[in-house]
Amino acid sequence: MKLAVFVSGRGTNLLNIIRRNKDGFIRSEVRLVISDRDCEAIENSERAGIRTKIADPKSYAGEREFGDVLLEVLKKNEIDFIVLAGFLKKIPDVVIKSYANRIINVHPALLPSFGGKGMYGMRVHQSVLDYGCKVSGATVHIVDTEYDHGPVVLQKCVPVSENDTPDSLASKIHQLEYELLPEAVRLFENNQVTIKGRKVVISAEGFNRT
């Protein structure tokens, strides 16, 4: 598959996907990197020779215009699949409709807990600690029209210790993200995923998504 990866910051998950393509774990290549701001991930992508696009929603008249711009650049680059890797803006509905069941996001908690609008980065980890959870983790899910709402593809958890801070918990969960995102991409590229309502079924053998 030809991937577009959406980022808003350093892009460590992006770099990991590129690495897993080079080492043969996934066949899908990053064809395009999109960000809502000029950031380290954009700089690294340009140095690696990957096409980039900065598209800030605030620069457009509304969601539809923003969505149309995104669709234009996605189609121009023949993108098959979209990975959200730390992208902090909501994907316009027109893009979600055009790429139905072909957009995934990684969230640094075990959804449906600690998700939704405004729940990102250290806010998530601080909320987990404040609640007194004994485990946390990472979730890869299908993107729909609500924040952190789509069907869960993969999840993995880690223990939360009494000495954990938001930074130490984030470090643990980043390692899970590095495992889960490439694995999810591999499942989709091998047609091992089907979606039935809110349930994602993963097959040992490939079949078409519905």
Boundaries of every domain in the chain: 1-99, 106-210
* Residue matched to tokens 């577009």: 4
pLDDT at residue 152 in the model: 98
> Where is 74: in which H helix or E strand?
helix 63-76
Residue positions annotated with a catalytic role: 107
Query: Is residue 207 scored above 90 in pLDDT?
Result: no
Same CATH fold, 106-210 and 1-99?
Answer: yes
Q: Looking up tokens 């998700």, which residue turns up?
A: 115
CATH number, domain 1-99: 3.40.50.170
Pick among 3.40.47.10, 1.10.3720.10, 3.40.50.300, 3.40.50.170: CATH of 106-210: 3.40.50.170
Structure tokens, 191: 């047609």
Provide mean pLDDT across the span 147-159.
Answer: 97
User: What is the predicted pLDDT for the residue at 10?
Assistant: 87
Who has greater pLDDT, 197 or 168?
168
Looking at the predicted structure, is the pLDDT value of residue 67 above 90? Answer: yes
For 78-123, the pLDDT digits (tens) are 999 999 999 989 999 999 999 999 999 999 999 999 999 999 999 9
CA distance 10 to 174: 13
